[in-house]
Amino acid sequence: MTYEKIPAEKFRFVQENEKLHDKELQTKARGFFADAMIRFSKNKSSVIAAYILLFLVLYAIFVPFISGYTANDKDPMYVNYPAFNSKLAPYGIMNGKYVMGSQNDKSMDIWYGVGEETGKNPVIRVVGTHETTVKKRGKEVVQYTYDIEVNRYYALGIMYRNFNQADYEKLQAWQNETGIQVIYPYVDPEDINGISDNPNIWFKLNSDGTAKKDENGNYIPAYSTRADKQGFEYNSIRIDGDPGNWVYSTAKSGSVQCRILYYNYYIYVNGHEPSYIMGTNVMGMDMFTCIGLGARFSLIFAILVSAINLTIGAIYGSIQGYYGGWIDMTLDRISDVLSGVPFVVVTTLFQLHLAQKVGVVPSFLFAFVLTGWISMAALTRKQFYRFKGQEFILAARTLGASDRRLMFKHIFPNAIGTIITSCALIIPGVIGSETSMTYLGIVDLTTYAGTTIGTLLSQGNAAVTTAPHAMLWPSMFLGLLMICFNLFGNGLRDAFNPTTRGVED
């Protein structure tokens, strides 16, 4: 059969009355941002960093509200104390642990005495025992000293406090209502070898200062029974074993002095037990709250600074990049001069000149804005140089688009991905500088923000040997925040950079 001989009627149109269209794409359209997101999510470390960052931000937002403490809760006694929570303390965590070295028998008697009297034993465990032989009146005597771990909150124990009549009665009423013993029987210094500066001694002493014990090895109470010295009347709960004649206060001119258990007094004042899960700082503030407060300020401040710098930098850089020539040159010289001024100098001068007039925070903000926008402007300028010569701009210009339209409708949207992602890398920089300045004390934000990470760090550094936690937590928080921001920012930058597209696949 030959093909030339096919009769015409055997031919048939494939379609006669319908129109041909391009088939719709069966795949899903993927926009620029969706694509960037997909590439971002492939970068494992950035994703982890993003989650940690989210956690830290949530911490900063919510902790100051839910911690139960505010910036004004400054306890005068619990200063630089380690972490403590009464619910978790029995399990060996957050038990206010603090190691005390070289405690002799005298001090050990007092520590155990505190536990005996108040029911809150400060001694967690004895870490080490040291034996020393000393010569005493020609005889060799073996003396022991101990290194012990104490719960600082319990070890504070009893302290003297003076009350006027009204307060004293209020405290008694509260005791009756709650059944919590705050006021403990008074001990007259005359009964304890004249010691008047240690309210924790409530037992009879030997002449060498150690506790006198009965045949069972128990302490012998030395509570005062001198009713003639008693202050205001005491009509409240009494401690166990009270025969009824122990005196609970002593008269001081116009007021009474009594021995109060500070832990319970704290409950009386604050309405709850002390619970400092990261310990307290040198101001007696809750570290957990303080870090939240500081971080909240840092984050808000950094975002604000970045937003302002982004706006100024984008406009400045657009003008530079779009017009080029002498405008570019002139504006570049201005930013050169500004970027040459050291940041410390800028901050100091702004603080000295403006802090009185517009407030500490705005003048600090101005200092950041004065030089901060320069890198943004340089970035925008570079992007503008990249796009302004391209054909679509020529086309738009031929169609009569104005300069402003070209700049902000055609070029800027192309550059926005790069510019915004660089923001994620600028924020940690701002937080770092802000922390340095508050750490150095050049800017004092405590009255405004309660506290800042920098202030916490400088307070912690002053007590690094006695209260390492006060320095550890803020440093860890800051370090983690910076690492996560940088990892997250790098991930974003790579994801939004179209040139890396498909490289890893």
Partner 1 sequence: MFKYALQRIFYMFCVFMIITLMCFILIRMLPLPVLPPEDPHTKVVEMRREALGYNEPYLVQFWLFLKNIVTDWNWGLSEKLYFGQDVWKIFIGKLPATMIVNLYSILWTIPVGIGLGVLAALKKNTWIDYFISTATMVVISVPSFVYAFLIQYLLCYKLQWFPFLMKGGTDYFSWAMFKSIVPPILSLSFGVIAGFTRTTRAELTEVLTSEFMLLARTKGLTKAQATVRHALRNCFVVIVPGIFGEFIGILGGSLIIEGIFAIPGVGGLTLNAINGLDYNIFMLSTCFYTAIGLAAGLVVDISYGFIDPRIRMGSKK
Q: Name the site residues for partner 1 (rule: CB under 8 A).
A: 45, 336-337, 340-342, 344-345, 348-349, 352-353, 428, 432, 435-436, 439-442, 457, 460-461, 464-465, 468, 471-472, 475, 478-479, 482-483, 485-487, 490
Sign of CA dihedral 207, 208, 214, 220: positive
Cα-based torsion angle of the residue sequence 481, 483, 486, 489 in order, rounded to the nearest 10 degrees: -70
Amino acid at 183: I
Least distance from partner 1 to the Cβ atom of residue 320, Å: 17
Give 339's contacts (C-beta < 8 A, 6+ positions apart). 371, 374
Among candidate residues 73, 102, 63, 97, the one with its CA nearest the CA of residue 83: 97
Among candidate residues 369, 373, 366, 361, the one with its CA nearest the CA of residue 452: 361
Q: Distance between CA atoms of 398 and 384, rounded to whole angstroms? A: 19
Closer to partner 1 by CB, 71 or 443: give it: 443
Chain CA centroid to CA 23, Å: 58
Least distance from partner 1 to the Cβ atom of residue 94, Å: 20
Residue with token string 């009494």:
238
Least distance from partner 1 to the Cβ atom of residue 486, Å: 4
Closer to partner 1 by CB, 54 or 269: give it: 54
Least distance from partner 1 to the Cβ atom of residue 490, Å: 7
Least distance from partner 1 to the Cβ atom of residue 80, Å: 14
Closer to partner 1 by CB, 190 or 336: give it: 336
Q: Distance between CA atoms of 54 and 488, rounded to whole angstroms? A: 11
Closer to partner 1 by CB, 189 or 432: give it: 432
Least distance from partner 1 to the Cβ atom of residue 345, Å: 5
CB 376 within 8 A of CB 419: yes
Tokens representing 408 are 């902000």
Closer to partner 1 by CB, 248 or 485: give it: 485
Q: Strand, coil or helix: what is 390?
A: coil
Closer to partner 1 by CB, 239 or 480: give it: 480
Least distance from partner 1 to the Cβ atom of residue 395, Å: 31
Closer to partner 1 by CB, 116 or 332: give it: 332
Give me the residues paired with residue 250 across strands: 257
Q: Distance between CA atoms of 499 and 359, rounded to whole angstroms? A: 45
Tokens representing 410 are 């055609």
